[in-house]
Amino acid sequence: MIPMVDLKRQYQTIKSEIDTAVGEVLEQAQFILGPNVSKLEEEIASYHGLPYAVGVANGTDALLLALRACGIKAGDEVITTPFTFIATAEVIALLKATPVFVDICPDTFNIDPGKIAAKITSRTKAIIPVHLFGHPADMAPIMEIAIKNNLKVIEDCAQAFGAKYHGQNVGTIGDAGCFSFFPSKNLAGYGDGGMVITKSEEIARQIKILRNHGSSVRYYHQEVGYNSRLDEIQAAIIRVKLKQIDKFNTARRQNAAAYRAAINKKEIILPSVAPGCEHVYHQFTIRTKNRDVLTAALQEKGIASAIYYPVPLHRQEVFMDLYNFSVKLPLSETCAREVLSLPMFPELNQKEIKLIADVINNAP
């Protein structure tokens, strides 16, 4: 069996460090907003060359608190992509704002900057580009549009820790960058966790207040906030993995190159990399019109695959009910019918990649 991601295999490579880090937290018995959270915030801020990083409970909260810190409120509109996990738009709805969906570039699966301007209204207050599957969104034109229209930009980097856009880390280009440490992510804990990075002292200050019940001084509350604090044990685990993240991402790129060299079935569309972008391959996602046949062929050989995402957000029942959406976004809809993600993790080996490619090449 070849799984989509083998967390146990990675754990075995760093077991002694992980076990030591967790043991130290248990010995110190400081579990909420302890020294590992503070140190991880410092280390991730330093990694990105920014002054501020704030740990939160998960990637969804990272987006939610960033939107609130950027002033998004009921009645506002936030432009984003429909081809992503629901959390990206869910947080907009939770603030009683309205998600406005823009179609994607089918080669990168990311929001098409050329289609954003037409969706801007007097109610538009922000853009959330998603660096999907580890490929950076095209940030230069997005930032140009945002600056021209006085819009905030919150980057959804949940799948793209370490990815670069023309030499700049994703998450450092807009007003805030939001990360998830869900166990399957490139940089991951063994539970939920999230982080917001920013160059803005005010945004960082607001998120620190919001994550802790709207309080900066214990038992004194200036906002209606959340219980959204990054767990100390998860922070300790992530600190161990942070030291390895560039190595892990390099291995993912090497595995992607091996897939490209081995898959030669002409009707398969392989993932592309836009000029100036450094992909970190959270997923290796192909496109095929024969997805069901290919999925069955892989499954017969004990090889996992996954569909990210089968229903674009503008066609999700919850949003159609809330907003009565009737918009058609044909490229997102086409990709949703054709995408298939193959196993991808740093410890995947060349023999496994060849086996997967052989199944694909020989499928009906």
What residues does each domain of the chain span? 7-242, 245-362
pLDDT digits (tens, 9 = 90+) for 95-109: 999 999 999 999 999
Confidence (pLDDT) at 326: 82
pLDDT at res. 34 = 96
Task: Give the chain's count of helices (H) and strands (E).
Answer: 13, 16
On average, the pLDDT of the chain sits at: 97
Comparing CA positions, the residue from 248, 245, 270 lying closest to residue 347 is 248
Phi, psi (degrees; rounded to nearest 5) at 116 = -75, -45
- For range 329-341, the mean pLDDT: 98
Across 108-127, average pLDDT: 98
pLDDT band, very low/low/confident/very high, at 327 (cuts 50, 70, 90): confident
Query: What pTM was estimated for this model as a whole?
Result: 0.98
Class of domain 7-242: alpha beta
Tokens standing for 81?
């992509």
CB atoms within 10 A of CB 313: 25
pLDDT value of residue 112: 98
Within 8 A by CB and 6+ apart from 278, the residues are 136, 163, 164, 165
Task: Look at residue 126 in the predicted model and tell me its pLDDT.
Answer: 99
Please write the tens of the pLDDT for every residue from 32-81.
Answer: 999 999 999 999 999 999 999 999 999 999 999 999 999 999 999 999 99
Q: Are 150 and 174 in contact (CB under 8 A)?
A: no
Specify the CATH number of the domain 245-362.
3.90.1150.10
- Looking at the DSSP bridge assignments, the partners of residue 215 are 221
pLDDT of residue 214: 97
Question: Containing H/E element for 178?
Answer: strand 176-180
pLDDT value at residue 60: 98
